[in-house]
Every structure is written in structure tokens, then in C-alpha cells.
Amino acid sequence: MSNGLTYKSSGVDVTAGYEAVRNMKSHVQKTFAKGVLSNLGGFSGMFALDKNQFDEPVLVSGTDGVGTKLMIAFLMDKHNTIGQDCVAMCVNDILCQGAKPLFFLDYIATGKLNPTKVASIVEGVSKGCIDAGCALIGGETAEMPGLYKESEYDLAGFAVGIVDRKKIVSGEKIKVGDVLIGLPSSGLHSNGFSLVRKLFFNIFKYDTEDYFDELGSTLGEELIKPTKIYSNALVELNNKFNINGISHITGGGFYENIPRMLPNGLRAVVDRKHVEVPQIFNIIQRLGNIEKDEMYSTFNMGIGVVMAVDPKDSDSIIEFLRSKNEKAYVIGEVIRGEKELYICH
């Protein structure tokens, strides 16, 4: 037998990769819907468009990861929800243009491939894709010894959606007097975790198992909550109403993301007293003695999506969303001014 160098002795076990594919197959196939032409294990994923569904179909794409929220998954050794975060971060972005998600690809890089752990990650990706109404048609799992620790991994994703050109939500139709409607978040989502980890684990030395009465859960259970996916709220809504602008409240919080949908010469005004802030944000602000503006420029503060709509449509939109068990409420308006956000009270 040769004692020569092998790929396995260098730290890469290709058989573990084959086992990971076998383990994740059932999760992937749960997401398959009309349009999927390929099967797991090929060199690429294929998806057929329905040529009768759109007059001028436009593809919309988005890519993202989940940042240092991954480190919460490592601390808790819980990996079956973080994939949903990855799907959400990509899908929620393309929903802002009025697109319907079609398919998703994931990328997992790790120091040592653990087939069971990878299957658990993909279980979360699959759940996210089902919630988003898209198919998981491919991805990549890379074993990279020396670059990542054996027990850790990175996760990123790529989503593609479709919208008819006449239904693209670009923000250019936003006007003075439009109402801002907020859709609640499920918690922290996937932003601000570098601050969160420093505060809870480095400064105050909390443990993920520590119970907070204000939260009604352990700290870890709150921090690991998956990012809400807004397909159920937004896909059908864009077909029934004229939505002038949509903003995903992601990295940069209110101050960075709401102005992204505004045309020049218009300002968004949010009344802080109308924003229902979950307890996790109040705890963070209190423990860190953090200024309110810093909170609103770092976190979603309980609002995952903000829409700009004509005031005459706002009540009907809120009523429609509530009929789909989606909470929504007015948090502000659009006025004339610099292209920026002003938060009052």
C-alpha cells in the first residue's frame, strides 16, 4: 500500500461530501415545484419559466449571508434554523422589487465536512425556501481545511425571482403624502450581531442558556430566532395593489434602508411612538446604554419591511394583509425634503 500523500490526508474527505449530498437530498426535494428541471447532484440547476405568465418577464437576483449570527449557532450547536436566515436575507431583498422568488442556491464552506451538520443546515435552507415559495435547485459544499476551524462554517446564498416589467417596484412612484406601512420582524433577524455578541457575551458574560423574564425564553432561543420571510405578505400584495416602494430593514437599520427606496427630493418621516419595539431591543439598549439613533441605525427595531403606498390604499392593504394573518400598521409618511429619514418622538 502506498504511503504517499492523499487528498484525505491533506484534510479533504470527498466521501464525506457524497454522504452530505445523500443526507440533504430529502430536504432539497421538498422544495421542488413546477419549473424545476434538474435533480440534486448535477453540475448546475435548471428552472423553466412559464412563458404565458408574464408579458415582459424580468429576472431579479440577490445574494447575501447571515454574518456573525453564525456564531450563535456555533455556541448553541443548533444548525437547523440558520439556513432559513440565509434564504430570508436574499429573498427579502428581491421582494423589494416586487419579484416572486423562483429558486435558490446555497454555499457552505467548512474546515471539516460533517455530513450530519451540513444536512441540518440544509434542512433550514429547505424550510426557508418552502416559506419563500421557491425551489432549492443546487449549491456547493466546500471543505477547506486551514481556512476555517473544523467545527465552524460559513453560509451564503443566491436567490432569483421574476416580475412583470409593469409591476416592478422601483420607488420612482413614491410621492408626497404616501403612507409608510411597517411589517413586523420576528426579532433581531440577521443584523447587528457583532454588537449583540460583544454586549451579552464579552461585556456582561451571559450564557445562551440564561433565562430572561422579559423575553419569556433563554437568551439563546431569542438570538437564534430565524429571520422572517415576507413572501406570503408581499407576492400577492403586489399583484392586487399598487405598491410605490418597499424597503427591507436589514444592515444599517431604518436610517440606511428606508431612504434607499426614495426618489430625490422626498423625505421619509417615521413616528417612533408608532413602532412596536420587541423586548430584545429594549434590553440591548438598556444594557449597552445605547442612543436611540444608534439603535435605529443598527437594528430593525421590530420592523422588517417598510412600504410606501398611496394613502387611499393603506386601509385596504392593511386589511388584506391581516386576512392573511400578516400584521401591518402605519408608522409614518413621505414629505418633501432631502432624501433621508427623520425619526420623530
Please compute, for residue 118, the number of CA atoms within 13 A of its CA located in the half-sphere on the CB side: 27
Residues in the chain predicted with pLDDT less than 50, given as ranges, are: 1
CB within 8 A of 252, min separation 6: which ones? 191, 297, 298
* 287-330 confidence digits (pLDDT tens): 999 999 999 999 999 999 999 999 999 999 999 999 999 999 99
Rounded Cα distance between 79 and 61, Å, is: 26
Architecture in CATH of 179-344: Alpha-Beta Complex (3.90)
Backbone angles phi, psi at 265, to 5 degrees: 90, 0
CATH topology of domain 14-167: 60s Ribosomal Protein L30; Chain: A; (3.30.1330)
DSSP symbols for 279-335: HHHHHHHHHHT--HHHHHTTS-TTEEEEEEE-HHHHHHHHHHHHHTT---EEEEEEE
* 72-124 confidence digits (pLDDT tens): 999 999 999 999 999 999 999 999 999 999 999 999 999 999 999 999 999 99
Rounded Cα distance between 342 and 293, Å, is: 10
Q: Is 74 helix (H, G, I), strand (E, B) or coil?
A: helix
Q: Where are the domains of the chain?
A: 14-167, 179-344
Rounded Cα distance between 74 and 91, Å, is: 24
pLDDT, residue 266, reads: 98
> CB of 55 within 8 A of CB of 179?
no
CB within 8 A of 276, min separation 6: which ones? 184, 302, 329
From the list 183, 268, 180, 261, the residue with the least C-alpha distance to 227 is: 183
pLDDT, residue 271, reads: 96
pLDDT, residue 345, reads: 75
pLDDT, residue 41, reads: 63
Rounded Cα distance between 37 and 55, Å, is: 23
3-state SS record for 26-55: HHHHCCCCCCECCCCCCCCCCECCCCCCCC
pLDDT, residue 142, reads: 93
pLDDT, residue 47, reads: 75
Residues in the chain: 345
> CB of 134 within 8 A of CB of 35?
no
The label of the residue with cell 437530498 reads 25
Rounded Cα distance between 247 and 304, Å, is: 9
pLDDT, residue 327, reads: 96
pTM of the model: 0.91
